[in-house]
Amino acid sequence: MGIETSCDETAASIVKNGKEIVSNVVASQIESHKRFGGVVPEIASRHHVEQITLVIEEALQLAEMEPHQLDAVAVTEGPGLVGALLIGVNAAKAFAFAHQLPLVGVHHIAGHIYANRLEQEMEFPLLALVISGGHTELIHMKEHGDFTVIGETRDDAAGEAYDKVARTLNLPYPGGPHIDRLAHASNDAVVFPRIWLEEGSYDFSFSGLKSSVLNYMHNAAQRGEHVAPESVAAGFQNSVVEVVTGKTMRAAEEYGVRQVIAAGGVAANKGLRHSLEIAFKEKEIPFYIPPLPLCTDNAAMIAAAGTVMYQKGLYGNMAMNGRPGMPLTSWI
Amino acid sequence: MIYLGIDTSNSPLAIALIEDGVVLIEETSNLKINHSLTAMPAIEEMMKKAKVLPADLTHIAVAEGPGSYTGVRIGLTIAKTLAWSLKIPLHPVSSLKVLAANGQGFDGLVCPIMDARRGTAFIGLYEGVSLEPVTADQHSDVKSFLLKAKELGLPILFTGVDVALHEALIIEILGEAAHFSGVQNRLPRASNLILLAQDTLESDVHHAVPEYRRITEAEANYNKAQEGQTL
Ligand SMILES: [Zn+2]
């Protein structure tokens, strides 16, 4: 069983052998946070307490399983919102204790990467692009449980930049899908800079791009010019897509990987997905991206990663705590 | 019948096991260590000492708040998940009433206090013998609560680890009517929690949530902004 409460989704799932989803329940709080224009941590924590046992029960019911049929309980230990994490962690501890099951603490990003294993067996060496509201990372894996972060964002996560740009375009929260949709409706994209950073770097930076968009809007407003939101959305998205695709491609070639996988909420973005698919097809490198419900936060991915940790004997204990700044470390 | 009691609603951690009206074990600490880290190991350890298995438990009692938001959530999450997992009843009890039980028998009123910063507290008033609530548990400005309490004209016993923070103000407002429990009686006791829980109806486990007694800051600001718009 997997349990995930690191941000604004309360989720529980049962996964067989780390590969096969038996049940996957996600209670989203998006509606509760919309009016605030973003996730309010205290409200997220309150909702997790309301939902947690309901979600775990539903996961068992949909699977038509009893707790004693489970081998272990995996839970997101970090990173994430501290108050949100510790609801999942304490529920997992209490559930594991009640049924005397082994407990496994999973890194949220490892979960996102292992979401792919629910669709497609992983082949190593592998490159993972994790791109979401909280993360933008390129991770090289030589084998199961081996993680080397070769690039990460130096400022905003891609999803954050999407939300901020969406706000300046008066689009509702969460902004990603709206920008994606508008971008597709445009055929004269504004040209914004591509932020490549220094030569050879796999790191990302989105705050400069975000500022360019804001400046552009501000200058147009001062001149009293009308700005077509489609053109701005398309320009912003083009810049993100080109840089992310370019760096992912270069890393895949440099590390000679046998597989490239994408994960995280922003990976579901149509523009980005399309660009990555075309690029890797040309280079004949197998590229996979899980379906939307497995890109966004879910507990099946935590169970999938947790299964490999369980097989390696990496158990946690009752002193497990939510770790908001947990680093991604290898399991070997 | 074995009750497990859990109170993590403020800085102290209080847990206990009561079997058929006999206190098997009770632990109270005030080390200000993160409950998320320590509550479950403490419960596991205590049950091991008492040779009680999870499956032996028949009831769970929990302090439902008010108190520290994170604290009450940890207690409630552990309690409801245990109760649901073991298919046994859950009995939430006001965490202020648990504190008030420290003063049970006092000829007057008992006032439990948990500090909530900026001159405010989670605070309540209970009848000293019956422990019936005289006012609802609330989040209040301490001074205005004390002024109202004074009008009742009864001696009041103050309890809770945070009483010390407000002692001067209490004496200034209530004078002779103010009484203070000894420091050994200011920590919540999970045995008291369980005894109160035995007279409390069980709650629907899935829908058991903390009694925060205060809306979130984001909601308060949002409501204020909405009011501004309609004026
Ligand atoms: Zn995520």
Beta-carbon separation of A90 and B78 below 8 A: yes
Strands (E), chain A: 2-4, 9-16, 20-28, 73-78, 103-107, 126-131, 136-141, 148-152, 259-263, 287-288
The reply to whether A35 touches chain B by the CB within 8 Å rule is yes
Residue of chain B whose Cα is closest to the Cα of A42: B216
* Bridge partners, A12 (sequence order): A3, A25
- d(Cα A69, Cα A20) in Å, to the nearest integer? 16
Shared domain for B91 and B192, answered yes or no, is: yes
**Dist. CA A265 → ligand 1 center (Å):** 7
Average pLDDT over residues B39-56: 98
Which residue type sits at A320?
M
pLDDT band of residue A332 (cuts 50, 70, 90) is confident
What pLDDT, on the 0 to 100 scale, is given for residue B230? 59
Give, as residue ranges, everything with CB less than 5 Å from ion ligand 1.
A 132, 297
Chain A residues closer than 8 Å to B69 by CB = 42, 45, 83
Shared domain for B116 and B53, answered yes or no, is: no
Beta-carbon separation of A94 and B41 below 8 A: no
**Dist. CA B208 → ligand 1 center (Å):** 28
- Domain presence at residue B217: no
**Dist. CA A297 → ligand 1 center (Å):** 5
Shared domain for B91 and B8, answered yes or no, is: yes
pLDDT tens digits for A162-196? 999 999 999 998 899 999 999 999 989 999 999 99
What pLDDT, on the 0 to 100 scale, is given for residue B108? 98
The reply to whether B82 touches chain A by the CB within 8 Å rule is yes
- d(Cα A157, Cα A181) in Å, to the nearest integer? 20
Chain A residues closer than 8 Å to B209 by CB = 46, 49-50
- Closest among B43, B80, B62, B57 to B1, alpha carbons compared: B57
pLDDT tens digits for A68-96? 999 999 999 999 999 999 999 999 999 99
What pLDDT, on the 0 to 100 scale, is given for residue A260? 98
CATH code (residue B156): 3.30.420.200
Shared domain for B126 and B85, answered yes or no, is: no
Whether A269 has a pLDDT exceeding 60, the answer reads yes
Shared domain for B76 and B13, answered yes or no, is: yes
> Looking at this predicted complex, what is its ipTM?
0.96
Count Cα neighbours of B104 within 13 Å in the Cβ-side half-sphere.
16
- Kindly state the helix (H) or strand (E) to which residue B2 belongs, with its residue range: strand B2-7
| Joined tokens for residue B215 | 């809306």
Chain B residues closer than 8 Å to A97 by CB = 40, 43-44, 54, 82
Whether B228 has a pLDDT exceeding 90, the answer reads no
- Domain presence at residue B221: no
Q: Which of B34, B70, B85 sits opposite A98 (nearest CB)?
A: B85
Whether A159 has a pLDDT exceeding 90, the answer reads yes
What pLDDT, on the 0 to 100 scale, is given for residue B200? 87
10 Å Cβ neighbour count for A70? 18
pLDDT band of residue B113 (cuts 50, 70, 90) is very high
Shared domain for B86 and B108, answered yes or no, is: no
- Domain presence at residue B34: yes
Shared domain for B175 and B101, answered yes or no, is: yes
pLDDT tens digits for A284-326? 999 999 999 999 999 999 999 999 999 999 999 999 999 999 9
Whether A127 has a pLDDT exceeding 70, the answer reads yes
- Chain A stretch 77-136, residues whose beta carbon is closer than 8 A to a beta carbon of chain B: 83, 86-87, 89-91, 93-95, 97-100
What pLDDT, on the 0 to 100 scale, is given for residue A107? 98
Give the torsion sign (CA, A302, A305, A307, A310): negative
What pLDDT, on the 0 to 100 scale, is given for residue A134? 87
- Domain presence at residue B27: yes
Shared domain for B30 and B114, answered yes or no, is: no
Q: Which of B80, B212, B216 sits opposite A40 (nearest CB)?
A: B216
What pLDDT, on the 0 to 100 scale, is given for residue A173? 86
What pLDDT, on the 0 to 100 scale, is given for residue A267? 92
- Domain presence at residue B218: no
Quick one: A1 exposed, middle or buried, by C-beta within 10 A (0-12, 13-18, 19+)? Answer: buried
- Closest among B159, B187, B204 to B30, alpha carbons compared: B187
- Domain presence at residue B194: yes
Q: Are B25 and B49 in contact (CB under 8 A)?
A: yes
Give the torsion sign (CA, B192, B198, B203, B205): positive
Q: Are B79 and B62 in contact (CB under 8 A)?
A: yes
pLDDT tens digits for B141-196? 999 999 999 999 999 999 999 999 999 999 999 999 999 999 999 999 999 999 99
What pLDDT, on the 0 to 100 scale, is given for residue A47? 97
Whether B231 has a pLDDT exceeding 60, the answer reads no
pLDDT tens digits for A198-245? 999 999 999 999 999 999 999 999 999 999 999 999 999 999 999 999
Share of chain A above pLDDT 70, in %: 100
Q: Cis omega before residue B66 (within 30°)?
A: yes
- Examine the fold and report which residue of B185, B200, B226 is the final residue of a domain before the chain moves on: B185
Beta-carbon separation of A97 and B82 below 8 A: yes
pLDDT tens digits for B118-127? 999 999 999 9
Q: What is the mean pLDDT of chain B?
A: 96
d(CA A80, nearest CA chain B) in Å: 15
The reply to whether A281 touches chain B by the CB within 8 Å rule is no
d(CA A86, nearest CA chain B) in Å: 7
Domain that holds residue B202: 2-95+188-212
Beta-carbon separation of A57 and B84 below 8 A: yes
Shared domain for B202 and B91, answered yes or no, is: yes
Q: What's B87's DSSP letter?
A: T
- Number of domains within chain B: 2
- d(Cα A274, Cα A236) in Å, to the nearest integer? 16
Q: pTM for this one?
A: 0.95
